[in-house]
Amino acid sequence: MPQTLEPLLRGHKFFAGLEPEYLSLIVDCATNEVFPADSFVFREGEPAETFYLIREGKLALEIAAPGRGAGSGALVIQTLGEGDLAGFSWLIEPHRWEFDGRTVERVRAVRIDGTCLRRKCEEDTRLGYELMRRFAGLSANRLQATRLQLLDVYGHAHNQ
């Protein structure tokens, strides 16, 4: 039941410091989910109207890459675990998942309905600002990590 999810939201790193009244607003859009290991949580190209706060387990962001990934046809670009958040596309047109999200281990997550939350943000722009601030911070961290991966710092000297 939604009421019991408030402590889960409060305990998640993403919502640290958010005022309790906003948490209760968000809870209306939240449901608890469990995904078994080796299952797809979302797939590239599908409509993205949700995001996930990971409470436990490991989720891999994958890209389908025919011929690569040692025969599996997929490359893992990042794994997310406890305290991480998966899903920015609910915020940005055209609201489609950019990657596949596949569980490596069983994942417990809070799923937040993006359409529901977007509506609440339009009604209370301060809530909107608080969420945007947090997403901007996450995006920046994600970008920095991606850049480091791109730099291929461990690569061979002659590749640099």
Partner 1 sequence: MRTISDGPQYVQPQATAGAPWIEPQFWQVAETRSEAPDVVTLALTPPAPFEFLPGQFNMLYQPGVGEVPISISGDPADAGRILHTIRDVGAVTRALCGLRPGERVGVRGPYGTSWPLAAAEGGDLMIIAGGIGLPPLRPALYRALGERQRFGRVALLYGARTPADLLFPAELRAWRARFDMDVYVTVDAAARDWRGDVGVVPDLVKRARFDPAMTTAFVVGPEIMMRFTVRALRAAGVTDDRIYLSMERNMQCAVAMCGHCQFGPFLVCRDGPVFAYDQLARWFAIREV
Partner 2 sequence: MTEIVDPRQPQLVFPASALDQLLDAIKRRSFRLIGPVVRDGAICYGDITSVSDLPRGWTDDQNAAGYRLRKRDDDALFGYNVGPHSWKQFLFPPHARLSPAERQPDQPFAFIGVRSCELTAIAIQDRVFLGGRHKDPQYETRRDGALIVAVNCGEAGGTCFCASMNAGPRVRDGFDITLTELLGEPGHRFLAEAGTDLGAEILSEAETRTALDEDVSAANAATENAVASMGRAMPEVSLRDLLGDSYDHPRWDDVAARCLTCGNCTMVCPTCFCFSVEDTSGLASTEPGGDPERHRSWDSCFTMDHSYLHGGPVRVSSRSRYRQWMTHKLSTWIDQFGTSGCVGCGRCITWCPAGIDITEEVAAIAADS
Binding site for partner 2 (CB under 8 A): 157-158, 160
Judge whether 94 and 45 are in contact, CB under 8 Å: no
What is the closest distance, in whole angstroms, from the C-beta atom of residue 26 to partner 1 in the complex? Answer: 23
Judge whether 86 and 12 are in contact, CB under 8 Å: no
What is the closest distance, in whole angstroms, from the C-beta atom of residue 155 to partner 2 in the complex? Answer: 10
* Residues in Cβ contact with 45 at an 8 Å cutoff, skipping those fewer than 6 apart: 96, 97
User: 27 touches which of partner 2, partner 1, none (CB within 5 to 8 A by kind)?
Assistant: none
* Residues in Cβ contact with 10 at an 8 Å cutoff, skipping those fewer than 6 apart: 20, 23
For 120, other C-beta atoms within 10 Å of its C-beta total 16
What is the closest distance, in whole angstroms, from the C-beta atom of residue 118 to partner 1 in the complex? Answer: 28
Please identify, using beta-carbon distances, which residue of 1 and 157 lies nearer to partner 2.
157
- Of the CA atoms within 13 Å of residue 9, those in its CB half-sphere come to 23
Please identify, using beta-carbon distances, which residue of 8 and 138 lies nearer to partner 1.
138
Please identify, using beta-carbon distances, which residue of 58 and 111 lies nearer to partner 1.
58
Distance CA 28, CA 117 (A): 9
Footprint of partner 1 on this chain (CB under 8 A)?
Answer: 58, 60-62, 68-79, 81-83, 102, 104-105, 141, 144-145, 148-149, 151-158
User: 116 touches which of partner 2, partner 1, none (CB within 5 to 8 A by kind)?
Assistant: none
